[in-house]
């Protein structure tokens, strides 16, 4: 569904990604693991069109994403839940959700109701807080809102960048259940996580990144057992 081949990218003249190849198939949850500063966020930003790759190809549903702007990529069904869950702090929960929908071409009130219903089924807490400013939500609730926003946009694949960062164990469990639930709904997930154990429990496959390159890939159970995982991640 999403396929990167030999992608090179960086900031200014500084290379960060050195020929990354990675694939996420329809319906899969795939973990992208690696220590700090290895290029995981850069890879997601490149896939989402915030950075233009220097070389290589990026395809979604068999069509190239190269040169498309982030909102065009979003419109095709790719959703990014960025690091530090960037919601709009001054806007209410309702307004944040509406912004997700605003990416959709030809949106109707029926679609709006349908998507909101779906979001509230998953996150009843958000319904209770519709008129509350985003900044007053707890960390876990902000994460829910960030995910709900890409659901509103109708994302078919969600790129999640460290969704459990700074959250209490109960909320980590909640996020984990949510990813399982997204999978059940047919949403495909690429998950960047520091919590490798959680990621490998919820995902089907995983990749390990080191210094801008993929150094290991395999089924989640293999990564769970592998000495390479311990060595590369220090867990
Ligand atoms: N906007 C930027 N300009 C220049 N260099 C950057 C920029 N953003 C990130 N980098 C550098 O790119 C490298 C990879 O960063 P990236 O954020 O992709 O790593 P990461 O794997 O997501 O790390 P973490 O686990 O800490 O989030 C780092 O050396 C970082 O300093
Ligand atoms: Mg990062």
User: Range of 204's domain?
Assistant: 2-233
Q: How far is the CA of 121 from the centre of ligand 1 (A)?
A: 35
Mutate to test the pocket of ligand 1, among 17, 32, 38 (most ligand atoms within 8 A of CB): 38
DSSP 3-state of 169: helix
Task: Quickly state the pLDDT bin for 229 (edges 50, 70, 90).
Answer: confident
Per-residue pLDDT, 131: 95
**Which ranges constitute the DSSP H helices of the chain?**
40-47, 70-75, 93-101, 109-122, 124-128, 139-152, 169-184, 196-202, 220-225, 227-233
- Ligand 1 pocket check for 36: Cβ under 6 Å: yes
Instruction: Note whether 117 and 87 are within 8 A (CB).
Output: no
Per-residue pLDDT, 36: 93
Please give the structure tokens belonging to residue 163: 């969704």
- Ligand 1 pocket check for 39: Cβ under 6 Å: yes
For residues 180 and 103, which has the higher predicted lDDT (pLDDT)?
180
- Ligand 1 pocket check for 211: Cβ under 6 Å: no
Rounded to two decimals, what is the model's pTM? 0.93
Task: Quickly state the pLDDT bin for 181 (edges 50, 70, 90).
Answer: confident
Q: Is 224 exposed, middle or buried (0-12, 13-18, 19+ CB in 10 A)?
A: middle
Q: Which is the closest atom of ligand 1 to the Cα of 43?
A: 18
With a CB cutoff of 8 Å and minimum separation 6, the contacts of 78 are 2, 47, 48, 60, 65, 155, 156, 157, 159
When divided into structural domains, the chain yields a total of 1
Max CA distance (Å), the chain: 52
- Ligand 1 pocket check for 37: Cβ under 6 Å: yes
The arithmetic mean of pLDDT across residues 180-197, rounded, is 92
The label of the residue with tokens 């996420």 reads 24
**Residue 106 scores a pLDDT above 80:** no
The arithmetic mean of pLDDT across residues 155-162, rounded, is 95
Q: Whose CA is nearest to atom 25 of ligand 1?
A: 36
Q: How far is the CA of 36 from the centre of ligand 2 (A)?
A: 7
**Most confidently modeled range among 20-24, 191-195, 231-235:** 20-24
Q: How far is the CA of 110 from the centre of ligand 1 (A)?
A: 41
Q: What is the mean pLDDT of the chain?
A: 92
Q: How far is the CA of 107 from the centre of ligand 1 (A)?
A: 36
| pLDDT per residue as tens digits for the range 117-149 | 989 988 889 999 999 999 999 888 898 899 999
User: Residue 154 belongs to a domain with what CATH number?
Assistant: 3.40.50.300
CA 9 – CA 207 distance, rounded (Å): 18
Per-residue pLDDT, 102: 82
Per-residue pLDDT, 28: 96
Q: What are phi and psi of 190, to 5 degrees?
A: -115, 120
**Residue 235 scores a pLDDT above 90:** no
Per-residue pLDDT, 128: 93
Q: How far is the CA of 45 from the centre of ligand 2 (A)?
A: 10
């Amino acid at each position: 569904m999403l396929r990167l081949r030999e992608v090179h990218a960086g900031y200014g003249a500084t290379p960060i990604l050195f020929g990354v190849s990675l694939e996420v198939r329809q319906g899969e949850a795939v973990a992208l693991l690696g220590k700090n500063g290895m290029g995981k966020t850069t890879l997601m930003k490149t896939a989402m069109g915030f950075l233009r790759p220097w070389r290589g190809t990026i395809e979604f549903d068999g069509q190239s994403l190269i040169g498309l702007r982030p909102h065009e990529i979003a419109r095709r069904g790719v959703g990014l839940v960025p690091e530090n869950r960037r919601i709009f702090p001054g806007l209410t929960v309702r307004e944040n959700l509406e912004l997700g929908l605003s990416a959709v071409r030809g949106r109707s009130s029926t679609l709006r109701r349908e998507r909101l219903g779906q979001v509230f089924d998953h996150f009843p807490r958000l319904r209770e807080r519709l008129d509350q400013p985003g900044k007053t939500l707890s960390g876990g609730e902000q994460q829910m809102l960030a995910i709900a926003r890409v659901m509103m946009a109708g994302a078919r694949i969600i790129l999640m960048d460290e969704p459990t960062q700074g959250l209490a164990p109960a909320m980590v469990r909640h996020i984990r259940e949510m990813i399982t639930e997204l999978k059940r709904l047919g949403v495909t997930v690429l998950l960047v996580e520091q919590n490798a154990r959680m990621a490998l429990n919820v995902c089907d496959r995983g990749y390990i990144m080191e210094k801008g390159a993929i150094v290991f890939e395999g089924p989640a159970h293999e990564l769970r057992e592998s000495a390479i995982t311990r060595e590369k991640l220090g867990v």
